[in-house]
Chain A
């Protein structure tokens, strides 16, 4: 296998899935030229003048869309672990006898475990998208025919826009839709808030199928997905499991160690001077991220400070900020709970966003870099602040990138992590898989102390005299290694067998994931 070392010092093969790839060239180092991809020209003359695009079944829609071997099928993950549509699509493909498909989800979840059967039988050749849980493990063991490609949310939009990925058929699960194909995530039993992750798919795919369990007469407003992009509309009894669409991620952590980390994060944002009138921050839906919002909220109230906007993953905690007047806006990328959905429905200042507005590398700027502070997780961080978010220390691929890489471009990116998990240190000499370059990671907050990237002299200066436990990342690493009985052995992987590539937001390859040996 030929390859070369990229700008981050990681070996990258010449080809992934038999297509040449470009090794990572450094942040902002790759600026492609040319024109963006475009969907085929269509004419309204070919579509029903009465606007009714409803067909009898998903199978019918897929057939009419010309489903055949080798195609790329996309889906979105707004239903998270409650999605019932993606599995169905590939069940139908299997029934029809179509093989070698490429699945291009914006993320996969444990509920997609049945996809493994289709990977084994060859209905699906490989997955390009975040692989969580069982699918990640399947891929890690080298059992997928092709190689996985992991992109950030912004990277996914970019790959569609610059033609790296051509979607043949986009299947968009929509909580509410009209026969014309206008759709949104705000209403219906499967309400999930917004549908931003399906935006690129609707705009660029050759064929677009909207699947809903809540068909309303035209017009379905607001149209988060424009019916003008849609070919077919399908009605199904149930497109998702509402209890799983809005579950799991929205509880504040009860772990005292994680609460301590969250409190440190909030204090850091306050004491580093980031918390000031008109500031902005982003918080995801993990237990620690939610807890930090609650601490920060108290500080904001005490200091009488108001944010201009907060970015979510919205949850009731962000909604409370909005409703209590502690922020002017929520710019929401995905909605995690019922309060978030309600707020988006009722409050004009709770705004839906997409990977295009928030993250897209081929946009004329994007929102992510304008955010004052973002709080993220990681599986590993090295002494130079490089971080891993997709594999565990044992090499197993178990998480997706999500918006993680895109968010690193914010003005202050904070990784909030425990210093060790069970016996496994989080701060290491070299991360198993590089996902984010250390130059973009400003702060690591652990329960044992806060390490500020030495590049950020401004932050270190601002924190002079603070009672926060500011320590060097090496110091924390050494302390934890003593507790854990030394540094862990390197994971056992087959360096000749690349199972997945990790792209940087610009589409270059920052690292690869190897097959795990048992």
Chain B
């Protein structure tokens, strides 16, 4: 058995570093260095002692170098160190879910923007909800160094329970299986809404994840659905896109990761994206065919707002419903780009009114003037109106307001 372990980061704002050394005698000794020592020193000690007590550790030296970490980070770091020494200890040091986070999301909710946040950067997690992305992805995969993969899970788990996501969809990108299976244990029981499966190449991967998610749901009595969003990042994935999209009823969206995809096919990723045009279209078609949302890749140049806008508008024109964001500053631009145009909204309103008229007459045929409107078009109109309401482009009460306006 090892008798000492470390976790966390030194000199990183809003984080802390801990080292736990198990001793034979002498009780619990806590050696604390903290930039908030005079303000929260006692609170930190109390928390540390609670955790030692919780895990039945009686003799230990616990070194803490704290750079202003919030309680959910401090506890995660200490627990990570404990579990490195005692992997057999199964119980978890959990705080209750904060009441603000008890909300659930619908499978067809808008997913215009999803903000990637590295799971081991608490400083970025804390405020992610403020920028009002549709979804926040706590990333366990590529943005986390291999050595950190294990202890970052505790941060992500605690964040799911204790950080206010302010209405955003709580997403986690897991690692590829088998590492990803362990990730699932840390997120499925703790309020994750949607799981992003990276580097999906076949339907089996999705099914494996799904099966494990369902068994974890059962075991942990998780009542709400847990959705899946496979990410296609290779030529093989693109070829199998439809199978992947249709692999589980819990799939809600399909997306593509262009950095890895372009590397896989052996080309440079360009701004125009000619090299990935077909692949992106394929993802749109596969997702639509499976009845789920097609979502575009991220735009990686954070400074290029014009480029992001153009890329988002292009994505929209190809049929995507959203785009990944790697910086909060991108969210607004993406939302604006995916917002329906005025012409689209006006036309959607007309179709919607025609639909109501048809329903009143108990007729199955929706008609605009002399032209018949097909069901998919009606559906699209409904989606546009929903989005427009969400974007506050029109009021939820637009029918009545439009009527009043006509009276004026």
A residues neighboring B (CB under 8 Å): 256-257, 259-260, 393-395, 421-424, 447-448, 467, 482-486, 488-489, 491-492, 516
Contacts and interface: CB of A to CB of B under 8 A. Distances in A.
A424 B69 CA distance: 10
11 contacts: A256-B127, A256-B329, A422-B35, A423-B68, A423-B69, A484-B70, A485-B71, A489-B41, A489-B42, A491-B39, A492-B38
Given A256-B130, A393-B39, A394-B39, 19 more contacts: A256-B327, A256-B329, A257-B127, A259-B329, A260-B130, A394-B36, A394-B38, A422-B35, A422-B67, A422-B68, A423-B68, A423-B69, A424-B36, A484-B71, A488-B39, A489-B38, A489-B40, A491-B38, A491-B39
B260 to A, nearest CB: 26
B13 A422 contact: yes
- Chain A interface mostly: loop
Interface string B105-132: 0000000000000000000001100110
A256 B47 CA distance: 30
Contacts of B164: 483
Q: Which of B69, B98, B328 has the largest number of chain A CB atoms within 10 A?
A: B328
Task: In the A-B complex, list the 4 residue pairs whose CB atoms are closest, starting with the nearest.
Answer: A422-B68, A488-B39, A256-B328, A485-B71
A393 B38 CA distance: 9
B150 to A, nearest CB: 25
Given A256-B127, A256-B329, A260-B130, A424 B38 contact: no
Given A488-B40, A491-B38, A256 B70 contact: no
B145 interface: no
Contacts of A257: 127, 130
Contacts of B71: 484-485
Q: Which of B47, B68, B327 has the largest number of chain A CB atoms within 10 A?
A: B68
Contacts of A516: 38
Q: Which of B39, B40, B164 has the largest number of chain A CB atoms within 10 A?
A: B39
Given A423-B68, A485-B71, A256 B131 contact: yes
A122 to B, nearest CB: 30
A447 B38 contact: no
Nearest to A489: B39
Contact of B14 (A393, A422, A486, A492): A422
Interface in B11-60: 13-14, 35-36, 38-43, 47
B14 A424 contact: no
Given A257-B127, A260-B131, A447-B127, A422 B329 contact: no
Interface in B252-300: none
Contacts of B70: 423, 483-485
A379 to B, nearest CB: 13
Contacts of A448: 130
B43 A486 contact: yes
Contacts of B42: 489
A489 B41 CA distance: 9
Contacts of B47: 485
Contacts of B40: 423, 484-485, 488-489
Contacts of B43: 485-486, 489
A516 B43 CA distance: 20
B131 A424 contact: no
A422 B36 contact: yes
Nearest to A469: B130
Interface string B213-238: 00000000000000000000000000
B36 A482 contact: no
A483 B328 CA distance: 21
B191 to A, nearest CB: 17
A257 B70 CA distance: 17
A482 B98 contact: yes
